[in-house]
Amino acid sequence: MLETTRLYLRKMTREDLPDLKEILQDRETMYAYEGPFSDEETQAWLENQFKRYQEPGMGLMAVVLKETGEMGQCGLTWQKAGEQGTVMEVGYLFKRKHWHHGYATEAAQACRDYAFDVLKAPRIYSIIRDTNIASQNVARRNGMTITGQLVKHYRGVTMPHLLFSVDNPNL
């Protein structure tokens, strides 16, 4: 578990499904994914995190607001990034009512520090749809700059993405 001033980050559990649905089934929150997830897609998302926790040992975490106990998600995952190959990515998704409070930045910075200080990762990435300005701003506040681009195909849509990255200053 990681802790920041306002947040706890821990592995998700089955009890987190209602909060996860509130995130993944919100049309505006999920516009970068071409719309909200169904119940089945949300359940599959959660199951995928459980698999990630086992192998390779990291995944999106529940980000619990200390003040309210409500949940967002942020964590480290392995992602395919075009010519870069497979990269360690910090990703984040929060309920709309928690946008513009700095929670995503605070959680992403905690994950960055964990990746650099504990995992000794030489570089981390965030792969962000080119239209997702809010997530791009979080990446910038996490010390990242644009270092590439790629195209993903999801739900029948061609989606340009920007690769943000930052190098481990301790290596």
User: Which DSSP string do the residues of the chain spell out, in sequence order?
Assistant: -EE-SSEEEEE--GGGHHHHHHHHT-TTTTGGGTSPPPHHHHHHHHHHHHHHHHTTS--EEEEEETTT--EEEEEEEEEE-GGG-EEEEEEEE--GGGTTSSHHHHHHHHHHHHHHHTS--SEEEEEEETT-HHHHHHHHHTT-EEEEEEEEEETTEEEEEEEEEEE-TT-
What pLDDT does residue 100 have?
95
Among 75, 78, 53, 56, which residue's Cα sits nearest to residue 8? 75
For the whole model, what pTM was predicted? 0.95
What pLDDT does residue 56 have?
78
- At residue 132, what are phi and psi to the nearest 5 degrees? -95, 80
Per-residue pLDDT of the chain (171 residues; tens, 9 = 90+): 899 999 999 999 999 999 999 999 999 999 889 999 999 999 999 999 999 999 878 999 999 999 999 999 999 999 999 889 999 999 999 999 999 999 999 999 999 999 999 999 999 999 999 999 999 999 999 999 999 999 998 888 999 999 999 999 999
Count Cβ atoms within 10 A of the Cβ of residue 61 and give its class: 0-12 exposed, 13-18 middle, 19 or more buried: buried
Distance CA 94, CA 26 (A): 10
What pLDDT does residue 57 have?
84
